[in-house]
Amino acid sequence: MAENQIGGQQILLLPEGASRILGRDAQRTNISVAVAVASAVKTTLGPKGMDKMLVSELGDIVITNDGATILDEMNVEHPVAKIMVDIAKTQDKEVGDGTTTVVIMAGELLKGAGDLIEQGIHPTTIIRGYKMAAEKASAVLNEVAKKVDINDDNTLQKIALVSMGSKNVGDESTKAHLSKLVIKAVKQVMEKSASGETVIDHDFIKVEKKSGGGINDTELINGVLIDKEISHPGMPRSVSNAKIALLDVALEIEKTETDAKIEITSPEQMQAFLQQEERMLKEMVKKIEKSGANVVFTQKGIDDVAQHYLSKSGIIAVRRIKKSDIEKLSRATGAKIVTSLDDLNDKDLGYAGIIEERKIGGERMVFVEKCRDPKSVTIFVRGGNQQVVDEVERSITDVIGAVSSVMINGLYVIGGGSIEIDIANALRNYSNDVGGREQLAIQKFADAIEVIPKTLAESAGMDAIDTLVQLRSRHRSKDGGVHGVDILKNNIGDMSKQGVFEPLKVKQQAIYSASEAAEIILRIDDIISSKGRAPPGGPGGGMGGHGGGMPDMD
């Protein structure tokens, strides 16, 4: 029970069972939690990063080194830990890559802030210094960024391979195969807006997965893969030069919304009623046939009688398609989604070179392929078991984000810890010009940025301190080389020659998100929690349960 004293009189502020942590203690607690979260994902960074195995209460197993997935599956309880999870999710949604980087940076920024607070520097001063450092870091990124042509597949593939580098998805040839598929997919769905800007909607790159085969069996389908089967056994299993009707209407007799009563007094009336239903369904099929369609996809159901007539007409039908899949089919085939059969005509139909039902991993799936200029495509992921398939899917999602970012923004930077050394050196010079107590915060920001090359070195089994010292002294050599951590040779190497490139947008988003998260957490000097209070009459009375303490990380 939290309480204050005013004029010697005790004033009760919070209900029984609540807890309160004030001032320096609150800041220490928050910083410790944030650093603990960062430590949980730190070892996953880089091509030689380690994986985490996460087992749910139900026994489901996830093996991954994807930062956002690890934090999401950890099911953290502490509110500060949830902020750290949120920045990883934001990074994932905004740019699709760099989730581990942003969490590690935020943890290091808070760790550095904790040291300054212990020296008596006020959090407001630290926050001001961090804001200045983030702006300067962004300016440095823009200065050293290089342009890339969207038709330069060689550079795009290098960016894709770096994004995929930390994932355990096979050897170099496998990663090259996957990266080529992603680049093709992104280019296929890319469009120009009215203002001339490049627009890439990730929703139209469908990633479908099925265990079985090897990772190299993963393929790009110029169309859409529907995880459904053809609705009637009498229908053809495949059709070439398909004319496709997309329906948002049920091919069945809908029940009335209001209460209705039909009175039948003889077998003849019953027979007439059933025949009328059959005639209505037959009429629906005739309208489809009249339009020229030989394939029907509908979001709603298809009556058994309607399936029979469709089958007799040689029309393939697939029912209960998800709304998102219908939209993808529309973008891939050029078909319009029709809500009334009366309006269906040949202008509403789409085209696909082939539509075929195939049995994959014991399940039947419908492949819509060889579309003319599909603006929606599918990457069909295969792998030896479910864990491998899931990790390949996460890897492809990251690469889609990285490649899209660089194609929209048109800029990339040299990776391998190289750009971080650039930023750190510039920040230290900048801090001398700023002066005052903010200077110390900017220097701590520079130290936090250097955690990336430091962690890359640690993951590779190199001495982190020696690596940092060498990088600072040899970073930009006289011959124009840009040095970073060479993971494969366990040494310092020229990252520009090795083609270690990363999207500018990913780095900028990581710096801004980490800085803002640190600023939010540093502003907190009072934690009030009423969670964990036992209900009246519960075990141990009013002070039972968890004792009202702050919830810990799970």
pLDDT per residue as tens digits for the range 484-538: 888 888 888 888 888 899 999 999 999 999 999 999 999 888 777 776 544 444 4
Do 446 and 369 share a domain, yes or no?
A: no
Per-residue pLDDT at 75: 81
Residue 92: pLDDT band with limits 50, 70, 90? confident
Average pLDDT over residues 92-97: 84
Instruction: Tell me which H or E stretch contains 436.
Output: none
Do 361 and 424 share a domain, yes or no?
A: no
Q: Which of 355-369, 397-411, 472-486 has the lowest mean pLDDT?
A: 472-486
Do 233 and 283 share a domain, yes or no?
A: yes
Q: Between 474 and 493, name the one with better pLDDT.
A: 493
pLDDT per residue as tens digits for the range 75-90: 888 888 899 999 998 8
Do 48 and 129 share a domain, yes or no?
A: yes
Residues 6+ away with beta carbon under 8 Å from 458: 43, 464
Q: Is the pLDDT of residue 256 over 80?
A: no
CA distances from 461 to 43, 277, 456, 481 (A): 11, 74, 9, 24
**Mean pLDDT, the chain, integer:** 86
Mind telling me the catalytic residues? Answer: 66, 99-100, 398
Which of 317, 352, 373 is the last residue before a domain boundary? 373
35 inside domain = yes
Identify the three-state secondary structure at position 150: coil
404 inside domain = no
47 inside domain = yes
Please give the residue range of the domain that contains residue 89: 19-147+413-452+503-529
Do 418 and 362 share a domain, yes or no?
A: no
402 inside domain = no
177 inside domain = no
Helix spans in 246-300 (H) = 267-291
Report the distance separating Cα 207 and Cα 225, nearest Å.
9
CATH number at residue 417: 1.10.560.10
CATH number at residue 338: 3.50.7.10
Average pLDDT over residues 29-52: 89
pTM of the model: 0.82
Do 358 and 242 share a domain, yes or no?
A: yes
Helices 67-74 and 23-42, packing angle to 10 deg: 120
Per-residue pLDDT at 257: 56
For residues 263 and 312, the answer to whether their CB atoms sit within 8 Å is no
DSSP assignment of 47-64: TTPPPEEEE-TT--EEEE
Query: Residue 226's beta-bridge partner residues?
Result: 366
pLDDT per residue as tens digits for the range 164-215: 877 778 788 888 999 999 999 999 999 888 787 888 888 899 999 998 888 9
154 inside domain = no
95 inside domain = yes
Q: Which of 425, 420, 427 is nearest to 502 (CA)?
A: 420
Do 137 and 269 share a domain, yes or no?
A: no
541 inside domain = no
Residues 6+ away with beta carbon under 8 Å from 492: 467, 470, 471, 474, 483, 484, 485, 486
Q: Which of 200, 198, 191, 206 is nearest to 377 (CA)?
A: 206
Residue 272: pLDDT band with limits 50, 70, 90? confident
Q: Between 379 and 547, name the one with better pLDDT.
A: 379
pLDDT per residue as tens digits for the range 407-429: 988 899 998 888 999 999 999 99
Report the distance separating Cα 122 and Cα 437, nearest Å.
9
Do 127 and 250 share a domain, yes or no?
A: no
The percent of residues above 90 in pLDDT, for the chain, comes to 48
The burial class, CB within 10 Å (0-12 / 13-18 / 19+), for 27 is: buried
Token pair belonging to 500: 């270690």
Per-residue pLDDT at 527: 75
Report the distance separating Cα 214 and Cα 412, nearest Å.
32
Q: Which of 6-10, 65-69, 393-397 has the lowest mean pLDDT?
A: 6-10
Using CA of residue 327, residue 329, residue 332, residue 338, what is the dihedral sign? Answer: negative
Do 448 and 366 share a domain, yes or no?
A: no
Do 268 and 136 share a domain, yes or no?
A: no
Strand pairing class (19-22; 526-529): antiparallel
The burial class, CB within 10 Å (0-12 / 13-18 / 19+), for 198 is: middle
Average pLDDT over residues 372-382: 92
Which of 350, 373, 396 is the last residue before a domain boundary? 373
For the chain, how many structural domains are there in total?
2
